[in-house]
């Protein structure tokens, strides 16, 4: 995919670029092997472990987690693995492979366990910098201390860079991450976590009804998918192995504090002969109604300023617009993007199906869409149901087929570690 992207967004710079000393360190044979496993041997130099700088490569790790290489830099987008086992099984790698990969940074979309598990451990072992909301960074500090006390980490702290101000409204700030300049420009802003406490859209295609384990058409819509059901043959084909757990390795994310649903949307612009832009978000909120999952404190009130008990932002404005409209305008300012890696699964799927991901796509206008969040909340083996529901949602929103993105759907376990490669070098 070789094309020039237009449009810039205003940013607020984080103070201080991080050094690139990690690039100068000798690369071990284990790292070369891990990078070839994740990105494909044809894309990794067998002598020095460098990933082809003329390519952007994504490798799906489960759920919303990806290993990514951009202009030669290796990073993780989320760190959770649905089945992180002691031997490769349904998921064809183990935690040591993620350490051997030697990522330079870990970007966390939000702090729920199915996104942030393992991050503090990987960062402590590899020196990778974590980027997250300040509330999620709180949890990373707890995790680092817990892991250190168990003897799992080399240091008792990790470097977690807080994005946006603590308690800021979604869309109120756009920050720049300077670690990979001038190779890659990265910006980020707070958006909305998906919610099952918001409003029901009568025009959306909700999840289909389930009766006796069988999908039934929704009476008013006639749709049959998604039902979010696992094929009964799946557990026989892919039996569970031995998970990482107490007694083996417990590197789960702390459930304390407000960091869980506070979510960050990331924008990566890879500088080469042409500018290649991709976006990644591991949850997809309700920008239509300005609603997000609340994380109520002990008083029963949300931790996020401006939210009511259901998680909506009634009457709250940012830049003179509703929270959702302001976020939509930020996303629209990015369009068109080359690739969007976005969550198709909303907690509100019983209310609105996959309407919310379509609303994001309508703003950022990706040439290629790659789904995520397909093995948590969405049950293992249900991915193709969600694919059918995704196209139902596009039709329900009245999106002309001529403007649909190219869709590179992911199906577990077939697509784990399948390198998705995009050329950035000019013809």
Count up the domains in the chain and report the number. 1
Q: How high is the pLDDT of residue 206?
A: 78
Q: Beta strands of 310-398 (E only): which ranges?
A: 317-318, 321-322, 337-343, 366-372
Mean pLDDT lowest among 16-20, 217-221, 320-324:
16-20
CA distance 71 to 168: 32
- For residue 226, say if its preceding peptide bond is cis, omega within 30 degrees of 0: yes
Contacts of residue 219, defined as CB under 8 A and 6 or more positions apart, other chains included, come to none
Closest C-alpha to 191, from 304, 112, 300? 304
* 333: helix, strand or coil: helix
Q: Is the pLDDT of residue 365 over 60?
A: yes
Mean pLDDT of 231-257: 89
Domain boundaries, position 91: 12-200+232-423
* pLDDT tens, position by position, 85-132: 999 999 999 999 999 999 999 999 999 999 999 999 999 999 999 999
Please report whether residue 225 resides in a domain.
no
CA distance 92 to 102: 18
Please report whether residue 7 resides in a domain.
no
Find tokens 């979010």 and name the residue: 228
Mean pLDDT lowest among 96-110, 150-164, 312-326, 363-377:
150-164
The rounded percent of the chain whose pLDDT value lies above 90 is 74
Mean pLDDT of 363-375: 98
Q: Which two tokens stand for residue 125?
A: 């072992």
Mean pLDDT of 40-55: 97
- The residue among 39 and 350 whose pLDDT is bigger is 39
- The Cα-based distances of 204 to 352, 355, 394, 422 in angstroms read 5, 6, 10, 33
CA distance 359 to 270: 25
219: confidence class by pLDDT, cuts 50, 70, 90 = low
Please report whether residue 212 resides in a domain.
no
Please report whether residue 227 resides in a domain.
no
* pLDDT tens, position by position, 400-411: 999 999 999 999
* 75: helix, strand or coil: strand
Please report whether residue 221 resides in a domain.
no
Mean pLDDT of 126-150: 95
CB burial class (10 A; 0-12, 13-18, 19+) of residue 46?
exposed
Rg (CA), the chain: 21
Closest C-alpha to 254, from 154, 127, 144, 376? 144
For the chain, the average pLDDT equals: 90
- Measured over the CA atoms of residue 296, residue 299, residue 300 and residue 303, the dihedral's sign is negative
- DSSP character string of 193-262: ---SSS---TTS-PPPEEETTEEE--TTT----------TTHHHHS----B--TTT---PPP--SS-TT-
Mean pLDDT lowest among 4-18, 78-92, 146-160:
4-18
Q: How high is the pLDDT of residue 327?
A: 98
Q: How far apart are the first and last CA of the chain?
A: 10
Mean pLDDT of 238-263: 88
Please report whether residue 2 resides in a domain.
no
Q: Is the pLDDT of residue 245 over 90?
A: no
pTM: predicted TM-score of the whole model, two decimal places: 0.93
201 CB neighbour count, 10 Å cutoff: 19
Q: How high is the pLDDT of residue 21?
A: 39
The angle that helices 355-364 and 323-334 make with each other, rounded to 10 degrees, is: 50
Query: What's CA 43's distance to the chain center, in Å?
Result: 23
Please report whether residue 289 resides in a domain.
yes
Mean pLDDT lowest among 187-196, 250-259, 300-309, 345-354:
300-309
User: What CATH number did the domain enclosing 163 receive?
Assistant: 3.60.15.10
297: confidence class by pLDDT, cuts 50, 70, 90 = confident
426: confidence class by pLDDT, cuts 50, 70, 90 = low
- For residue 412, say if its preceding peptide bond is cis, omega within 30 degrees of 0: no
Mean pLDDT lowest among 14-28, 74-88, 119-133, 395-409:
14-28
25: confidence class by pLDDT, cuts 50, 70, 90 = low
CA distance 236 to 62: 19
- The Cα-based distances of 93 to 100, 249, 388, 425 in angstroms read 11, 15, 29, 31
Q: Is the pLDDT of residue 6 over 70?
A: no
Please report whether residue 370 resides in a domain.
yes
């Amino acid at each position: 995919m070789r094309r020039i992207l237009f449009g810039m967004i205003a940013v607020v710079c984080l103070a201080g670029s991080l050094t690139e000393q990690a690039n100068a360190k000798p690369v071990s044979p284990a790292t070369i092997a891990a990078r070839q496993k994740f990105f494909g041997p044809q894309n990794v130099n067998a002598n020095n472990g460098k990933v082809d700088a003329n390519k952007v490569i994504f490798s799906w790790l489960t759920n919303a987690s990806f290993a990514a290489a951009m202009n030669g830099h290796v990073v993780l987008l989320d760190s959770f693995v649905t089945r992180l086992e002691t031997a490769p099984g349904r998921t064809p790698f183990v935690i040591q492979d993620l350490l051997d990969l030697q990522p330079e940074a870990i970007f966390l979309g939000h702090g729920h366990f199915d996104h942030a598990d393992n991050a503090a451990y990987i960062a402590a072992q590899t020196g990778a910098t974590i980027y997250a909301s300040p509330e999620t960074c709180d949890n990373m500090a707890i995790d680092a201390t817990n892991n250190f006390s168990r003897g799992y980490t080399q240091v008792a702290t990790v470097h977690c860079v807080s994005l946006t101000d603590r308690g800021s409204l979604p869309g109120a700030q756009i920050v720049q991450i300077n670690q990979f300049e001038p190779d890659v420009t990265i910006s980020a802003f707070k958006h909305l976590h998906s919610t099952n406490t918001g409003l029901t859209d009568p025009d959306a295609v909700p999840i289909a009804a389930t009766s006796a384990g069988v999908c039934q058409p929704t009476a008013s819509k006639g749709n049959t998918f998604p039902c979010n059901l696992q094929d009964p043959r799946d557990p026989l084909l892919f039996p569970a192995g031995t998970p990482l757990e107490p007694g083996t390795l417990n590197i789960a994310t702390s459930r304390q504090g407000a960091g869980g649903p506070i979510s960050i949307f990331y924008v990566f612009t890879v500088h080469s002969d042409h500018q290649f832009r991709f976006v990644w978000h591991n949850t997809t909120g309700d920008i239509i109604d300005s609603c997000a999952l609340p994380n109520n404190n002990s008083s029963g009130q949300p931790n996020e300023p401006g939210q009511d008990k259901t998680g909506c932002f009634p009457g709250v404005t940012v830049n003179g617009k509703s929270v959702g409209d302001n976020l939509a305008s930020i996303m629209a300012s990015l369009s068109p993007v080359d690739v969007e890696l976005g969550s198709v699964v909303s907690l509100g799927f019983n209310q609105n199906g996959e309407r919310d991901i379509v609303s994001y796509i309508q703003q950022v206008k990706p040439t290629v869409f790659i789904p995520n969040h397909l093995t948590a909340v969405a049950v293992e083996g249900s991915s193709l149901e969600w694919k059918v529901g995704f196209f139902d949602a596009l039709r329900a929103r009245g999106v002309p087929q001529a403007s649909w993105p190219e869709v590179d759907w992911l199906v577990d376990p077939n697509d784990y570690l399948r390198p998705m490669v995009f050329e950035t070098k000019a013809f």
